[in-house]
């Protein structure tokens, strides 16, 4: 009898263990189905492979014919390149001189310089088309370099510049005047903070606010709060999404350590919803609505533009529906839904992505433009999620500080920004925003098509990306032609153009003319010479082969024999 009971108990325990293992296996399978097939969806593999990529660069001849172009095309490219190089040397002389001098001691400049174009071409291009990283003034939608050249600004200052530089100059000045009596006193607050809090609550539709110094810190705090209140460990981010440079939200290339408590899931995917429905360790889901423009792909940068595979397309309805489904699953599973609106907040609509897509989040992070031109990060959230201590467990707290949080000058510039959002002028600005920018994108595309140029833009409101329509290894050269035409881009080049909303039709027409002129010049110089036998896939294949050869035979300069 006793023996039978023991056997039964063992069978029971075995059965339970088997059931648990099967469930764990099922959850693992769900997780692997929910990973995007690209390397961006596999952070660990991406990091390991990145460590294997060898450095090599093209010599002078290869620089002009790495795609096997015939001699006459290579000669046209060379002539065009030399013309551009001479133009840079004269027109941007002082700006280039200052940049070169500063770069020796500014690590950030060294990094951005090195990664403007694919590394195989970078050394040769950098030596002859050096970076000109200084400007001395801004005015309207333009910036002026140290040589007095005025450029239409398409950098948008990383997205900060929504209302135009002149607005922020005034916001900073007016704000500074209002808090001058207090000065840089930290700890106690200047009274105008109360108005900021009231306006942020109204705009976000959420109960409480916390102030930080950058978007990265706001995201860190949102995730920390979600973990504290759910008592769960993991955050979910979607493939390709940027949420600042903190380790847990940057699990792939760029972070020397693996992020053990991060799941990177496929955007717009049923499989990802199933992971959220079945795992018990997920504290929060982070959404960067900018991904709607290029779901599952990282921020487009010309440093990776070795072919023409870059794609972007924005479908507001489809992405909005996806967010609604995500909202429903998060509510059902008590997962905190965080909208990271550091980039898109106040750019798409006055009420940000929540209003634009008509979906409410539990926590929202803001930054960039909200500081009225000064550094900022903000978290708005439900009061139960924002609380940093437990009334019944006094030692169980969720710590967050930051010396410069709520700096009076930042709060004052923010106040000017938020007050402006409540003016009829700002309301008018947001009313026709998408129509204005969609029409402008269409207008530019029509011009490019009419000239039979293999370039097109895709846009999400005022955030644009340049796509290339015929397979080519040389699209990254376009950034230099655009600069020569007086268009200023950020270091990611043509991957991201950001317009401020004060662009008039006349300003925009000037940008279109210059953009088309740049594309024509690049075309005439032979960079888009098309070999009908070449497809994006074959370019990728050829580059992979080069990398393997350089890895295996570095002493032979990457030659197979």
Task: Extract long-range pairs of 173-176: CB within 8 Å, 24+ residues apart.
Answer: 174/412, 174/416, 175/372, 175/409, 175/411, 175/412, 175/413, 175/414, 175/415, 175/416, 176/409, 176/412, 176/413
Cα–Cα distances in angstroms (integers) from residue 408 to residues 377, 419, 437, in the given order: 14, 16, 35
Q: How many CA atoms lie within 13 A of 264 on its CB side?
A: 28
Min dist. Cβ of residue 430 to ligand PLP (A): 20
Single out the residue of 215, 240, 295, 493 in contact with ligand PLP (rule: CB under 6 A).
Answer: 215
| 366, 342 Cβ separation under 8 angstroms | yes
Nearest to 250 by CA among 492, 32, 241: 241
| Helix axes 408-421 and 424-431, enclosed angle (nearest 10) | 70
Of 5, 537, 30, the C-alpha closest to 307 is 537
Residues between 105 and 124 with contacts to ligand PLP, criterion CB under 6 A: none
Residue from 120, 221, 262, 288 in contact with ligand PLP (CB under 6 A):
288
For residues 519 to 548, the per-residue mask of contacts with ligand PLP, x marking binding by CB under 6 A and - elsewhere, is ------------------------------
> Please, which residue, 58 or 238, has the CB nearer to ligand PLP?
238
| Residues within window 241-270 making contact with ligand PLP, judged by CB under 6 A | 242-244
Neighbours of 9 (CB within 10 A): 10
Contacts of 553 (CB under 8 A, 6+ apart): 559, 560
Cα–Cα distance list, 487 to 138, 159, 453 (Å): 14, 16, 18
Q: How far is the CB of 212 from ligand PLP (least distance, A)?
A: 9
What's the chain's length in residues? 561
The nearer residue to ligand PLP, 132 or 287, going by C-beta atoms, is: 287
Least distance in Å: CB of 159 to ligand PLP? 6
357 binds ligand PLP (CB under 6 A): no
Looking at the Cβ atoms of 342 and 364, the one nearer to ligand PLP is 342
Can you tell me which of 219, 363, 477, 518 binds ligand PLP, judged by CB under 6 A?
219
Handedness of CA 320, 325, 331, 334 (dihedral sign): negative
* Minimum CB–partner distance for residue 341 and ligand PLP (Å): 7
224-243 residues near ligand PLP, rule: CB under 6 A: 242-243
The CB density around residue 253, as the number of other CB atoms within 10 Å, is 15
Stretch that binds ligand PLP, among 213-221, 228-236, 397-405, 444-452 (CB under 6 A): 213-221
Nearer CB in complex with ligand PLP: 215/454? 215
Residue nearest to ligand PLP (CB): 215
The nearest distance, CB 170 to ligand PLP, in angstroms, is 22
289-348 positions binding ligand PLP, by CB under 6 A: 340, 342-343
What track of x and - describes contact with ligand PLP for positions 367 through 386 (by CB under 6 A)?
Answer: x-------------------
- Answer yes or no whether residue 216 interacts with ligand PLP by CB under 6 A: yes
DSSP string of 404-417? TTT-HHHHHHHHHH
Q: Contact positions toward ligand PLP, by CB under 6 A?
A: 158, 214-216, 219, 242-244, 288, 340, 342-343, 367
């Amino acid at each position: 009898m006793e023996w039978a009971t023991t056997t039964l108990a063992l069978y029971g325990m075995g059965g339970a263990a088997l059931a648990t293992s099967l469930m764990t296996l099922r959850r693992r399978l769900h997780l692997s189905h929910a990973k995007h097939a690209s390397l961006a969806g596999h952070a660990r593999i991406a990091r390991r492979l990145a460590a294997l990529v060898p450095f090599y660069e093209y010599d002078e001849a290869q620089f002009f014919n790495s795609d096997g172009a015939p001699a006459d095309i290579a000669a046209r490219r060379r002539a065009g390149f030399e013309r551009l190089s001479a133009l840079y040397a004269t027109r941007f002389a002082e700006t280039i001189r200052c940049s070169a001098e500063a770069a020796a001691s500014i690590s950030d400049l060294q990094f951005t310089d090195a990664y403007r174009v694919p590394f195989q071409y970078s050394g040769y291009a950098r030596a002859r088309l050096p970076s000109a990283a200084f400007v001395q003034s801004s005015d309207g939608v333009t910036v002026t370099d140290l040589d007095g050249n005025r450029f239409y600004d398409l950098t948008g200052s990383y997205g900060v510049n929504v209302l135009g530089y002149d607005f922020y100059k005034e916001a900073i000045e007016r704000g500074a005047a209002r808090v001058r009596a207090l000065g840089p006193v930290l700890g106690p607050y200047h009274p105008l903070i109360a108005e900021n809090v009231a306006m942020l609550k109204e705009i976000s539709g959420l109960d409480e606010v916390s102030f930080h110094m950058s978007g990265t810190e706001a995201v860190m705090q949102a995730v920390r709060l979600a973990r504290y209140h759910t008592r769960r460990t993991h955050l979910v981010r979607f493939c390709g999404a940027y949420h600042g440079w903190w380790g847990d939200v940057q699990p792939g290339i760029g972070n020397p350590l693996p992020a053990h408590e991060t799941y990177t899931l496929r955007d717009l995917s049923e499989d990802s919803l199933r992971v959220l429905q079945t795992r018990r360790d997920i504290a929060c889901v982070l959404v960067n609505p900018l991904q709607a423009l290029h779901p599952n792909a990282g921020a487009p940068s010309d440093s990776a533009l070795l072919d023409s595979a870059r794609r972007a397309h924005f479908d507001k309805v489809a992405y909005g529906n996806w967010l609604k489904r995500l909202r429903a699953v998060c509510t059902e599973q008590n997962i905190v839904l965080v909208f990271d609106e550091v980039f898109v907040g106040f750019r798409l609509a006055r009420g940000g992505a929540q209003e634009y897509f008509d979906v409410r989040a539990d926590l929202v992070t803001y930054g960039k433009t909200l500081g009225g031109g000064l550094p900022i990060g903000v978290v708005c959230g439900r009061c139960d999620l924002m609380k940093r201590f437990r009334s019944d467990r006094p030692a169980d707290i969720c710590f967050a500080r930051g010396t410069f949080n709520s700096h009076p000058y930042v709060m004052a510039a923010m106040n000017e920004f938020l007050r402006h959002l409540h003016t009829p002028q700002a309301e008018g600005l947001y009313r026709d925003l998408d129509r204005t920018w969609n029409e402008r994108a269409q207008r530019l595309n029509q011009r490019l098509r009419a000239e039979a140029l293999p370039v097109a833009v895709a846009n999400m409101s005022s955030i644009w990306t340049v796509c290339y329509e015929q397979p080519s290894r040389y699209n990254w050269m376009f950034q230099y032609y655009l600069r020569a035409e007086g268009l200023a881009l950020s270091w990611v080049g043509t991957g991201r153009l950001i317009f401020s909303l004060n662009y008039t039709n006349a300003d925009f027409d000037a940008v279109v003319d210059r953009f088309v002129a740049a594309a024509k010049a690049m075309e005439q110089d032979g960079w888009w010479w098309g070999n009908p036998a070449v497809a994006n896939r074959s370019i990728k294949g050829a580059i992979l082969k080069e990398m393997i050869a350089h890895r295996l035979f570095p002493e032979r300069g990457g030659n197979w024999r």
